Amino acid sequence: MSRIHPAENQCAGKYVEEEENCIRNCERDPYDSPCVLTVWKRSSMSFQGTDGFTVFDSCGKLAFRVDNYTRKDGGGLVLMDGSGNALLTLKPQMLSMQYQWNGYRGEAYRTSPKSREFAMRRPRSALIRSITSSSSSNKKECQAEVFMGSSSSSSSQPNKQNRISPDFKVEGSFRRRNCKIKTSSGALVANIARKRVVNSTVLLSDDVFSLAVQPGYEPQLIMAFIVILDRLSPKPFAPVLCS
């Protein structure tokens, strides 16, 4: 079976010089160059019934994880670092569970539920496509919008006078692991792509993909977007068989 994360011998190689170079690359200032992560859509918990994400950095070190939740649980998700510390808590908005999620730093929602860090939702155009079963191949189709802060103007159904542009938007097809996160002005923030076996053209399954975050953006915030996007993205239609 192919290794899904970068070769660990890069950080424990035969030569000390290679090891030191890798450590410097892993610990470099995240604002100097893109942060490339390998995302595995699987919980780091080994027992059956868990769901989540396991995320490795460029040296194969555990960077983020989301553990022990199922799609039947509407109570929210927690993005943790490799040691299990809560970084962002992600909660579905009441009366809008399918289409909007809110993010809070750490577990701030417990003491200050109004101190929202961001809101992420599917735009109306995406809702219409899901209802009509339309599957456009336009790479610039917006799959999700992100509004930073706790402003009421980014509520799930803003009125025409209060409508504002999102701070970030997701274009492409997340389900096919081929999409980009951009600012409202069109600047690239992050790129999601299928991952290949090292030194080959063989693609791994869509449960393993690459996330490249551009300098100047928090990898943990972008990873939170990915976790929510997984919940917002439409799933393949499964026909009901009648006997």
Domain boundaries, the chain: 8-232
What pLDDT, in 10s, does the model give residues 47-76? 555 678 999 998 899 999 998 655 554 568
Lowest mean pLDDT among 45-49, 159-163, 214-218, 234-238: 159-163
**How many residues make up the chain in this entry?**
243
106: Cβ–Cβ under 8 A, 6 or more apart, which residues?
A: 86, 87, 88, 89
What's the half-sphere exposure (Cβ side, CA atoms, 13 Å) at 162? Answer: 9
Looking from the CA of 232 toward its CB, the CA atoms found within 13 Å total 31
Structural domain 8-232, CATH architecture: Beta Barrel (2.40)
Dihedral of alpha carbons 100, 105, 111, 114, sign: negative
Residue 19: pLDDT over 50: no
pLDDT digits (tens, 9 = 90+) for 124-174: 765 545 544 555 545 677 889 999 987 544 444 444 434 578 999 999 999
